[in-house]
Structure 1
Amino acid sequence: MKTFVPFSQLRQQPTIVVDSTGLGAALTLAHWRGAATPEALRDDTSAGSVLRALRAPATGGLDAPAVTANHFDVDGFVGVWSLLHPELALRHEHLLRLTATLGDFRELDWYDPLADHALKLVCWLNAEEKARFYEPFGAPARRRREDEASAEKFEWFLPRFQEILENPEVGRAAWEPEVKRVQQAVAHMQSTVTTTRAYPEIGLLVVCTPVPLPYYALFGSSGGFDMVLSLYDENWYEFEYKYTTWIDLESRSTLPRLPLSGLAACLNGQEQSPHQWTFDGVTDTGPLLRLDGKRLTKVQRYADPDQRPIYSSSIEPETLEQEVVAFFRERYARIQPRRYWTWAEIRAAGEATNS
């Protein structure tokens, strides 16, 4: 039997670290870039690495009595819970993999028989987290450290998750509002009002839809792409590097993130509105390029696109799409996709393309 311990207690006993890194871990099971996850256990999600480990019981360090993580999110929680309930986790492996992927990458195959079940689990976790604790990335605003404050979330969710996993109706009051909101947005994405254009050579998906939507709908069918350009009515636009390029993705090769400064400068040279194109750095979990993006807090940037302010651009959508595609085609022309980029290699690639 294993127990969950706060991250601060990592070195007090042999401990498995999930979806995090820490010195002194008996075993690391994380998809973070450069994490010491054993090669045979690498997976797109940290929960996936945990599930691989459970199918390889001879894995060194897997017998450690304690489990920890330095933050709370869906992927990390599913991984921690699975280590504490190995038989149940393997019984529900496919569902847990869908849940972790939706939580971290916001991707989901809506035609999978378990898609609705996974959505309910994620929405339950999200709703209860916000209602009982604080929203993701909200700890600093409360003058708390995430690695300390998140332990309270684990302690509340861990004994309650099995019941929801096996009978999601128990948590309907919590998950239903967000599930309905996402399902309505998915119907919107699958209707004739939405069109998409794919540029697989640069990993870009362009989504044209009237209004901003929840991420689970907007990114749900974006599997295999690492950048999304959203073109809305009223000349509202957002570009985002997905979280798939922040971590070490196992299932496929990726291109490295590039600095968005050059693209922002190009767009600002054309922008006639009172707003400026701003961007986040390559090490942000999900760098955004948008008008007046620097006014957003981290909580707002992580929140759904329909929950943050957005401004009209003077640039027409066809022109914007052409500029974005041309920017990345030129800079990615001499870069080959591969797995396991280091941050140093990503920065070097960005410097080379800007020279």
Structure 2
Amino acid sequence: MSRYFVPFQALRHQPTIVVDSTGLGAALTLAHWRGAATPVALRGDTSAGSALRALHAPDTPGLQARAVTANHFDIDGFVGVWALLNPELALRHEPLLRLVATLGDFREIDWQHPLADHALQLVSWLNAEEKARFYEPFGAPARRRREDEASAEKFAWFLPRLAELLENPEAGRAAWEPAFALVKQAVAVLQGPVTTVRRYPAIGLTVVQTPEPLPYYALFGPSIGTDMVLSLYDGQRYELEYKYTTWIDLESRPTLPRLPLGALADRLNDLETTTRRWTHDGITDTGPLLRLSGRVLSKAQRYADPDQRPIFASSIVPAELEREVVAFFGAAYAGIEPKKYWSWAEVKAAGVEEEMEN
């Protein structure tokens, strides 16, 4: 049975499998979004992982639908859609595709994996061609377009081209090499003597102390298994970020719920003696940041790599900042047990309780 891609607006025109999205009337949902109707047996950390699991379970109700869609274009969703349209090739390259989806969505990878470089090449190719030919992630609104409509053009261009790069990554070297080289250089910095990594498993935090801001694909590598990254850069420049792993329903391990960052920002503002203020995003943002204020960043700028945005100097020394962050989350998470499949209502309730205690 051959499947085909349809724009999201065509969801109800025929039985349709929805990937990395949710939509009323879907014949089958394969998404890691919190609360999505993905069958329990097919749940995975990534939506592409669920699509690949579905290929191993051909009798899954709804999988007989021939149309496939998604309401946005990103690497995880694209890989999931492509896998359903190319099942034999997808199963042949399943380990690689899983790495690509995880790196694309969570920005983390084990660099010791034998397929890690190939995965980075594919992710770099997808990112480079997307920006060169279309628009950057979260860039549709700035162009007065709806993502669910505009993204169909990306799918139409990329879907027939991925197979060649899976079999022969050299075919896309001109596109992927610049970003690939930058990330590999950054990985060498992270693995070298100028970088220190400290992990606080009880609160799901990884602290990365390194001289300069780095691309996410390198920066988040040491954070596998945790859900927050505190970046400490030279010149007393800092960022704290909740990873995307706590926006979705992570299948492989329990997590702690996101907590509002307002109380921590208030505490840091009490300590801050520069004219800047500590600001933060809400917990429902895909990757909430806590950082010193400057010009308000758009969603596209916040999604872009840390080395592509200004990060300002604080009066707080690194050791003190780290102590404050660790103490805040240590107290805030006391009595909260990690679990899988938090609902947004439960996440928000945990945040309300934490704020009341403060």
Shorter-normalised TM range? over 0.9
SS at match of 2:223: coil
SS at match of 2:203: coil
Give % identity: 74
CA contact (8 A) 2:196 2:208 kept: yes
RMSD: 0.6
Amino acid corresponding to residue 319 of structure 1 in structure 2:
E
Q: Distance in 2 between matches of 1:10 and 1:49?
A: 19
Alignment match, 1:55 = 56
In the TM superposition, what is the alpha-carbon distance from 1:220 to its structure 2 partner?
Answer: 1.6
Larger mean CA deviation between 269-278 and 247-256 belongs to 269-278
SS at match of 1:201: helix
Amino acid corresponding to residue 303 of structure 2 in structure 1:
Y
Alignment match, 2:314 = 313
SS at match of 2:57: coil
Q: Distance in 2 between matches of 1:52 and 1:3?
A: 19
CA contact (8 A) 1:212 1:306 kept: yes
Matched, 1:135 2:123: no
After TM superposition, list the pairs within 5 Å mapping 1:253-268 onto structure 2. Answer: 253-268=254-269
Alignment match, 1:233 = 234
Q: Distance in 1 between matches of 2:331 and 2:294?
A: 25
After TM superposition, list the pairs within 5 Å mapping 1:206-225 onto structure 2. Answer: 206-225=207-226
In the TM superposition, what is the alpha-carbon distance from 1:222 to its structure 2 partner?
Answer: 1.2
Alignment match, 1:333 = 334
Question: Which structure 1 segments of 5+ residues have no match?
Answer: none
Q: Distance in 2 between matches of 1:336 and 1:294?
A: 37
CA contact (8 A) 1:7 1:68 kept: yes
CA contact (8 A) 2:276 2:294 kept: no
Alignment match, 1:279 = 280
SS at match of 2:88: helix
Q: Distance in 2 between matches of 1:213 and 1:131?
A: 22
SS at match of 2:279: strand
Q: Distance in 1 between matches of 2:348 and 2:110?
A: 33
In the TM superposition, what is the alpha-carbon distance from 1:274 to its structure 2 partner?
Answer: 1.3
Q: Distance in 2 between matches of 1:266 and 1:152?
A: 46
Q: CA-to-partner distance for each residue in 1:313-340, whole Å, 9 max, x for gaps?
A: 0001010000000000001011000000
Moved over 4 A (4+): none
CA contact (8 A) 1:279 1:293 kept: no
Alignment match, 1:179 = 180
Q: Distance in 2 between matches of 1:109 and 1:197?
A: 17
In the TM superposition, what is the alpha-carbon distance from 1:79 to its structure 2 partner?
Answer: 0.1
After superposition, the Cα gap between the structure-2 partners of 1:80 and 1:231, relative to the gap in structure 1 and judged at 3 Å, is same
Matched, 1:145 2:146: yes
Q: Distance in 2 between matches of 1:327 and 1:102?
A: 29
Q: CA-to-partner distance for each residue in 1:210-263, whole Å, 9 max, x for gaps?
A: 000000000022110000000000000000000000000000000000000000
After TM superposition, list the pairs within 5 Å mapping 1:30-69 onto structure 2. Answer: 30-69=31-70
In the TM superposition, what is the alpha-carbon distance from 1:192 to its structure 2 partner?
Answer: 0.4
Q: Distance in 2 between matches of 1:141 and 1:313?
A: 31
Matched, 1:303 2:285: no
SS at match of 1:134: coil
SS at match of 1:346: helix
After TM superposition, list the pairs within 5 Å mapping 1:14-29 onto structure 2. Answer: 14-29=15-30
CA contact (8 A) 2:20 2:47 kept: yes
After superposition, the Cα gap between the structure-2 partners of 1:294 and 1:242, relative to the gap in structure 1 and judged at 3 Å, is farther
Question: Which structure 2 segments of 5+ residues have no match?
Answer: none
CA contact (8 A) 1:277 1:293 kept: no
With the length of structure 1 as denominator, give the TM-score of the two structures: 0.99
Q: Distance in 1 between matches of 2:308 and 2:351?
A: 31
SS at match of 1:295: coil
With the length of structure 2 as denominator, give the TM-score of the two structures: 0.99
CA contact (8 A) 1:279 1:294 kept: no
CA contact (8 A) 2:197 2:222 kept: no
